[in-house]
A and B are shown apart, each in its own frame.
Chain A
Amino acid sequence: MIEVAGLVKDFGRFRALDGLDLTVRAGEVHGFLGPNGAGKSTTIRVLLGLLRKTSGSARLLGGDPWADATTLHRRLAYVPGDVSLWPQLTGGEVIDLLGRLRGDLDPRRRAELVERFELDPTKKARTYSKGNRQKVALVAGLASSAELLILDEPTSGLDPLMEEQFQDCIREVRTEGRTVLLSSHILAEVEELCDRVSIIRAGRTVQSGTLTELRSTHRTMIVADTERSPAALAELPGVHLAAVVDTRIRLQVDNAHLETVVAELAALGIRSLESHPPTLEELFLQQYAEQPAGTTTSPTTRTPTT
């Protein structure tokens, strides 16, 4: 559905995208992660033909996002994260406007979504709060039966109840076999919804794969209580972010060194032991805490930096 390779986008002297790669397969919900300013929105704008790429390749639904923009847009729906609406139009008018300009608006689905998101479509856009403006854009996007949904931080400003509704909608979309590109920095949402994830930083892709893959190439979180002081463990190779309080220790260990650490723990006499794969949040923070910008490497060749 989306094939991006080595994508570069310059704004004057500023390089916003620096060789970005992104592959989204048909029928998957793909998480697109990165902190503010990493280039998520720029990538999406190139994919929508709003920006012209500087170099590299970008294919969308088998076409060229710049040259074939209008025809491709019939097959996709887009929800921006920073929604700006026409102040004098009502929410209902905006939903119909965007739907009909795209060419498909299912009135039944529209009515159902307005209900689900508890949106008052008779209010003028200028009177909507940020969350309500976001709902207008979501209803307009989700009311289509387009085969690809491009969502750019679509839930910013939504309350937890509406976030739940949104997640249900995305699950339904997946069940129907449609494809979603979900840019987000709400990691719980991505963990909940996405089949595969791409993490970008400073205009480049740093990691890409299923959540299981990302987790298994990395570390394990360990919390243990031992008979004797475990302080020496902090010095072992492959151990990171260790914190010792009396006989309790919390640490992260590279999976390559997991066996050594467990053996050492056993030697100290284990009273209790918890271990779990890193959450997406831990992965994400680790990615950004340890690597200075511009020295990104592919996940497989990464070397421990502590």
Chain B
Amino acid sequence: MSDVTARFTGTRVLVRHLLRRDRLRLPVWLVSLVGLSYSSVVAVQGLYDTPQAIATYQRTVGTSAAAVAMSGPPVALDTVGGITVFEVSQVAVIGVALMAVFLTIRHTRADEEEGRTEVLRAGVLGRQADLLATGLVVGSAAVLVGVGIALSFVSVGLSTGPSLLYGAAVASIGIVFMAVSLVAAQVTEHARSASGLALSALGFFYLLRAVGDVAENGLSWLSPIGWAQAVDAFGGNRWWPLLLSLAGTVAFGVLAGWLTTRRDFGAGLVAPRPGPPHAARWMTTTPGLAARLQRGTVLGWTVGMTVLGVMYGSLAGEVGDMIEGNETLEEFFSQSGVSVVDAYFGTVLLISALAATAFTISSVLRLRTEESAMRAEPILATATSRLSWAGGSLAVTGLGSVLVLMGLGLGAGVTTAFVLSDAGQVGSLLVGVLAYLPAVLLLGALALVLFGWFPRQAALSWAVLAICFVIGWMGDLLSLPDWAMDASPYTHVPQVPMETLTWPALLVLTAITLALGAVGLWGVRRRDLRTD
């Protein structure tokens, strides 16, 4: 057997093993991504069925900096196909990339960290077989998402060629980020930090193309997402940008393969350094321990959201430029008395607050991780009550959530203040972001209730966040009924600075949060510790 094939021995067996392990997870990803895309495809066909409606869309949404920053370049918005691409991209682009990152890390570094790979590697298995097998499985999943989206387009009567091109573009994003994640999995020793690294890369490339698409300065060509969106589906319809994605995938894949030969099994690229032989006083209390365990996550999220805020702020100048010469919009904004910039921030702050909630939920669910990893047991066997254990961790969750939101608000506020030479923006955007705090914490409290009463189902908290995302992001497009819109706490938050800050809704949200928190803690106190 040659050296090259020996490295991949056992790939076929491994592929079957991965498919079996993901027999539920893969269908859930595929069905949710394709299903969400399909519902938005259908909604678009219903809403934009006349030339007037299409023209209005091009003049309004197509010139909104917020929409371009989130969807991509406004291509062919004078056609239903172009509008469909623009709307579907909001979910599909990030969705397929997230799927690729989570699945890839799960089958590489997470398995290696847990010691499962060791059992396999000791058998007849090539050193790079797990990379190849993971790549094949996750790559195929991305292709299926692309096929599903293309079929959704064709099923409503859009032309086949451009539909397939767009499906291929979405699939290419998943495939590139699969390869990026393979590299991330080699660099760090921990699945958690490997995901963090891959997600940071995703965030970076997403922001790069957002700035590029809004400012039209070519930055988008430095991002794999930009390559995929350069296919101009329903516009120029060109296939060649996908070659860039292919080259990128091969480059990252080869890099990952090479890195496996440069490191020991179980290790990252950086050797662990010795640490302090004694614990600092501050970290031997329950809040101190939680702060020590979560400080990296809090810091990462705060920096990430600050960068996001800076990016949105830096576009504040373009927002006005984009509607210039567009009489309908200029008239609309001058009559309604709402500033274009404020309307822009109304949208982007809502989406950013939803993203920040992911920190809050994952921080609450740390309790569950500690419990199921049997690290809660030795703590609770000391003179530490359940309330103190959970309370210490939740204090860090609350404080961390404030920091993450403040980073977003200050990043956006300070940058906008510079761009528009208006110091008042700092305060108003900070208030605008912090107004979301009760809603963000409410979802955290819901996660606590699940943890306290149904610990094995605690991960359902993510489904709640996903629903709030759909309501907040796509509720208008899908024409959801009022009761459905009202189900999301984010709907009730006043969109400062576009709206004035009103307290009743925020106080109600806070009261619900506190009540849920109490119910959750009651559950934590009364139930058995469960490590299953």
Does B466 touch A at the CB level, under 8 Å?
no
Contact indicator A85/B375 (Cβ below 8 Å): yes
Of B138-146, B275-283, B501-509, the one contacting chain A is B275-283
Q: Which residues of B contact A94 (CB under 8 A)?
A: 279
B289 lies within 8 A of A97 (CB): yes
Q: Which residues of B contact A30 (CB under 8 A)?
A: none
Query: Does A195 lie at the interface of the complex (its beta carbon under 8 Å from any beta carbon of B)?
Result: no
Shortest Cβ distance from residue A45 to the other chain B in the assembled complex, whole angstroms: 7
Q: Is the CB of A73 within 8 A of B289?
A: no
Q: B383 near A73 (CB under 8 angstroms)? A: yes
When the two chains form their complex, are residues A50 and B377 in contact, meaning their CB atoms are under 8 A apart? Answer: yes
Please tell me if the beta carbons of B374 and A97 are within 8 angstroms of each other in the complex: no
Q: Using known A-B contacts A50-B529, A71-B383, A86-B375, determine if residue A92 contacts B278 with beta carbons closer than 8 Å.
A: yes
Q: Report if B49 contacts A (CB, 8 A).
A: no
B274 touches which one: A96, A123, A126 (CB < 8 A)? A123
Check A96/B284 contact, CB under 8 A, given A87-B190, A102-B383.
yes
- Is residue A247 within 8 Å, beta carbon to beta carbon, of the partner chain? no
Nearest CB in chain A: distance from B268 CB, A? 10
Q: Is the CB of A92 within 8 A of B374?
A: no
Digit string of B179-204 for contact with A (CB within 8 Å is 1, else 0)? 00000000001100000000000000
- Known A48-B381, A84-B375; 19 more pairs at CB < 8 Å: A49-B380, A50-B529, A73-B381, A73-B382, A74-B383, A78-B378, A86-B375, A88-B293, A90-B274, A92-B275, A92-B276, A92-B277, A92-B278, A93-B276, A93-B278, A101-B286, A101-B384, A123-B274, A124-B274
Interchain CA distance A89-B284 in the complex, whole Å: 12
- Decide: A122 and B190 in contact? CB cutoff 8 A: no
State how many angstroms separate the Cβ of B166 from the closest Cβ of chain A: 43
Chain B residues positioned under 8 Å from A69 (CB to CB): 380, 385
Report the minimal beta-carbon distance from A114 to chain B, rounded to whole angstroms.
8
Inter-chain contact B275/A97, CB cutoff 8 Å:
no
Tell yes or no: A227 within 8 A of B by CB: no
- Is A216 part of the contact surface with B, judged by Cβ < 8 Å? no
Q: Is A7 an interface residue (CB 8 A)?
A: no
Q: Nearest Cβ in chain A — how far from B488, in angstroms?
A: 35
CA distance A188 to B36 in the complex (A): 63
Task: Give the distance in Å from the alpha carbon of A96 to the alpha carbon of B278 in the complex.
Answer: 7
B383 touches A122 (CB 8 A): no
Size bracket of the B interface: 20 to 34
Q: Which residues of B contact A150 (CB under 8 A)?
A: 381
Contacting pair A98 B275 (CB below 8 A)? no
Determine the residue in chain B with the shortest Cβ distance to A46.
Answer: B528
Q: Is the CB of A98 within 8 A of B383?
A: no
List CB contacts (< 8 Å) of A66-121 with chain B. 69-71, 73-74, 76, 78, 80, 82-90, 92-98, 100-103, 120-121
Q: Which residues of chain B come closer than 8 Å to A80, judged between CB atoms?
A: 374, 377-378, 381
Which residues of chain A are near B278, meaning CB under 8 Å?
92-93, 96, 121
Give chain A residues whose Cβ lies under 8 Å from the Cβ of B275.
Answer: 89-90, 92-93, 122-124
Task: Please name the residue on chain A nearest to B385 by beta carbon.
Answer: A70
The closest CB in chain A to the CB of B273 belongs to A124
Q: Are A51 and B293 in contact (CB under 8 A)?
A: no
How far apart are A123's CB and chain B's nearest CB, in angstroms? 6
Q: Which residues of B contact A87 (CB under 8 A)?
A: 190
Q: Which residue of B lies closest to A107 (CB)?
A: B278
Q: Does B373 contact A (CB under 8 A)?
A: yes
In angstroms, Cα B285 to Cα A82, docked, is 23
Give the docked Cα–Cα distance between A76 and B383 (Å): 9
Taking the complex as formed, is B17 at the interface, i.e. its CB lies under 8 A from any CB of chain A? no
Complex CA–CA separation, A85 to B528 (angstroms): 21
Number of chain A residues whose Cβ lies closer than 8 Å to a Cβ of chain B: 44
Closest to B286 in A: A101
Q: A51-B528, A96-B284 are in contact. Are A121 and B385 (CB under 8 A)?
A: no
Q: What are 20 A-B pairs with beta-carbon distances under 8 A?
A: A45-B377, A50-B528, A52-B526, A69-B380, A70-B383, A71-B383, A73-B382, A78-B378, A80-B378, A90-B276, A90-B277, A93-B283, A97-B283, A97-B289, A98-B378, A100-B279, A101-B286, A103-B383, A126-B189, A127-B272
Residue on A with the closest CB to B293?
Answer: A86
A123: chain B residues within 8 A (beta carbon): 272, 274-275
Question: For residue B279, which residues in chain A have a CB less than 8 angstroms away from its CB?
Answer: 89, 92-97, 100
The residue in chain B whose Cβ has the minimal distance to the Cβ of A121 is B277
A82, B374: Cβ atoms closer than 8 Å: yes
Partner of B528, one of A52, A83, A97, A102: A52
A124 to B292, CA, bound (A): 14
Are B374 and A84 neighbours in the complex by a CB distance under 8 Å?
A: yes
Instruction: Confirm or deny: B379 has a beta carbon within 8 angstroms of a beta carbon on chain A.
Output: yes
- List, in ascending order, chain A residues with CB within 8 A of B284's CB: 96-97, 100-101
Q: B299 to nearest A CB, angstroms?
A: 14
- Taking a contact as CB atoms under 8 Å apart, the answer to whether A50 and B272 are in contact is no
Query: Do the beta carbons of B379 and A101 come within 8 Å of each other?
Result: yes
Given the interface pairs A92-B277, A122-B275, the reply to whether A70 lies near B283 with Cβ below 8 Å is: no
A130 to chain B, nearest CB (A): 11
Question: Given the complex of chains A and B, what is the CA–CA distance between A96 and B289 in angstroms?
Answer: 11
Contacts of B285 in A (CB 8 A): 101
The smallest C-beta distance from B191 to any residue of chain A, in angstroms, reads: 11
Closest to A45 in B: B529
Bound Cα distance A124, B273 (Å): 8
**Min CB distance, B128 to chain A, in Å?**
24
A89 to B294, CA, bound (A): 12
Residue in B189, B277, B382, B526 whose CB lies within 8 Å of A98: B382
Residues of chain A lying within 8 A (CB to CB) of residue B375: 84-86
List residues of chain A with CB within 8 A of the CB of B529.
45, 50-51
**Most-contacted residue by chain A among B190, B274, B285, B379 (CB, 10 A):** B274
| Minimal Cβ-Cβ distance residue in A for B280 | A93
Which B residues from 278 to 312 make CB contacts under 8 A with A? 278-279, 283-286, 289, 292-293
Which chain B residues border A202 with CB–CB below 8 Å? none
Residues of A within 8 A of B286 (CB): 101
CB neighbours (8 Å) of A76 from chain B are 381
With a CB–CB cut-off of 8 A, which chain B residues contact A103? 382-383
A137 at the interface (CB under 8 A from B): yes
Q: Please report the C-alpha to C-alpha distance between residue A96 and residue B529 in the assembled complex, in whole angstroms.
A: 24
Among A73, A120, A122, contact of B276 (Cβ-Cβ < 8 Å): A122
